[in-house]
Amino acid sequence: MQLDNRAQTLLKALVERYIADGQPVGSRALSKISGLELSPATIRNIMADLEEMGFVASPHTSAGRVPTPRGYRMFVDTLLTVEAIDETALESKMQNSLQPSSQQKIIANAAQVLSSLSHFAGVVLSPRRESIFQQIEFLRLSEKRILLVIVSPNGDVQNRLLLTDVDYSPAKLVQAANYINQHYGGLSLDDVRLRLQGELRKLRDDMTWLMQAAVEAGSDAMTDNSDEVVISGERNLLSVTDLSSNMDSLRKLFDMFEQKTGLMQLLDISGKATGVQIFIGGESQLVPMDEMSVVTAPYEVNGKIVGTLGVIGPTRMAYERVIPIVNITAKLLSNALSHS
């Protein structure tokens, strides 16, 4: 929806003032901070139009107005002036925390950097494990229980218990493992699954079940990662009145951090886009609270997008500061992981 220049200027001034002090903004204040030479009556008329269009709302306790989720969206999409920061100085400040080391440590440091610089919560969606296997083994534990052992190219070992309907002899288990390793070793389990669709008919029934079970259990084992979402600075949000003003808000906040499912979905979706994305509560079903926003950006390893990071904070956050923090952290994390 198009707004004329005067309406845009007033909406921008209102959002910036509300972000700064959290109080409804009245027409008298807008006349002083907007820089427009308009009469109070004209400003009131424009604000009434903005309210009718859904960009601002009037709290019952005040004559002033506050931005709605739609108003915030208009602000961040078309009116926001991103703060000019010394990118070199910020990179230098962050560099020590993102020195090449283990992937797990780099990701944890990135979440801490986002939290400390934004003063909110930092979050990183870890790269998904590639389900490539180098070798598998079947070990007979008892009559109908088999231990599946999967070894990845980098030496990681995953185990899964298989419950069978028939008793496989150790010799048959060795034969099946040798066949899988010879024909499929070094492939991803997703690729193996596709190839098996056309090849299983050629195999004996006893080997067919073992191969299907190995692929399904192996995929679950190698993509299972309980630390997939790394969060730092959750406590910072407890001091944000907008997010912790009542027990219902606190419950939603802690449910989000405890369950992580919705957060993972949001980060996964934002990883399919390029550049910084802003999810505003009240307009996005992925954000559990109207008073919350999430600013995200994807990061890469060797030119391929593998994950997402971001800042979780109140809708009333200083987006002009947070956006460059998220953007630069994504670049530095990409560089650190590509050289680790």
201 and 118, same domain (yes or no): no
Quick one: how far is CA 108 from the chain centroid?
Answer: 14
pLDDT at 215: 77
pLDDT at 321: 92
Q: If you count them, how many residues does the chain have?
A: 340
Across the chain, mean pLDDT equals 85
115 and 242, same domain (yes or no): yes
Query: Above 80 in pLDDT, residue 131?
Result: no
Cα–Cα separations (whole angstroms), residue 200 to 163, 214, 289: 20, 13, 49
CATH of the domain at 9: 1.10.10.10
92 and 204, same domain (yes or no): no
275 and 286, same domain (yes or no): yes
121 and 136, same domain (yes or no): no
208 and 255, same domain (yes or no): no
248 and 297, same domain (yes or no): yes
pLDDT at 154: 66
Give the structural domain span for 281.
87-127+227-339
Please identify which residue in the block is written with the tokens 């950006």: 297
Query: Above 80 in pLDDT, residue 62?
Result: no
How does pLDDT run across 201-222, given as a tens digit for each residue? 555 566 677 777 877 777 666 5
3-state secondary structure the chain: CCCCHHHHHHHHHHHHHHHHHCCCECHHHHHHHCCCCCCHHHHHHHHHHHHHCCCEECCCCCCCEEECHHHHHHHHHHHCCCCCCCHHHHHHHHHHHHCCCCHHHHHHHHHHHHHHHHCCEEEEECCCCCCECCEEEEEEEECCEEEEEEECCCCCEEEEEEECCCCCCHHHHHHHHHHHHHHHCCCEHHHHHHHHHHHHHHCCHHHHHHHHHHHHHHHHHHHCCCCCEEEECHHHHHCCHHHHCCHHHHHHHHHHHHHCHHHHHHHHHHCCCCCCEEEECCCCCCCCCCCEEEEEEEEEECCEEEEEEEEEEECCCCHHHHHHHHHHHHHHHHHHHHCC
Integer Cα distance of 85 and 93 in angstroms: 13
Cα–Cα separations (whole angstroms), residue 248 to 90, 252, 284, 310: 37, 6, 19, 24
33 and 100, same domain (yes or no): no
Integer Cα distance of 225 and 214 in angstroms: 19
pLDDT at 8: 95
At position 27, the amino acid (one-letter code) is S
Last residue of a domain, one of 196, 224, 252: 224
How does pLDDT run across 231-246, given as a tens digit for each residue? 999 999 988 988 888 8
Q: Smallest Cα–Cα separation from 309: which of 71, 130, 120? A: 120
Structure tokens at 104: 């797990």
121 and 141, same domain (yes or no): no
Q: Output the pTM of the full model.
A: 0.74
Q: What is the mean pLDDT of residues 100-114?
A: 85
Last residue of a domain, one of 224, 255, 283: 224
pLDDT at 231: 93
Percent of the chain surpassing pLDDT 90: 36
Last residue of a domain, one of 169, 204, 224: 224
Percent of the chain surpassing pLDDT 70: 90
182 and 110, same domain (yes or no): no
How does pLDDT run across 10-56, given as a tens digit for each residue? 999 999 999 999 999 999 899 999 988 888 889 999 999 999 999 99
Give first-to-last CA distance, the chain, whole Å: 46
CATH of the domain at 214: 3.30.390.60
94 and 240, same domain (yes or no): yes
218 and 234, same domain (yes or no): no
Query: Above 50 in pLDDT, residue 109?
Result: yes
CATH of the domain at 314: 3.30.450.40
Number of domains composing the chain: 3
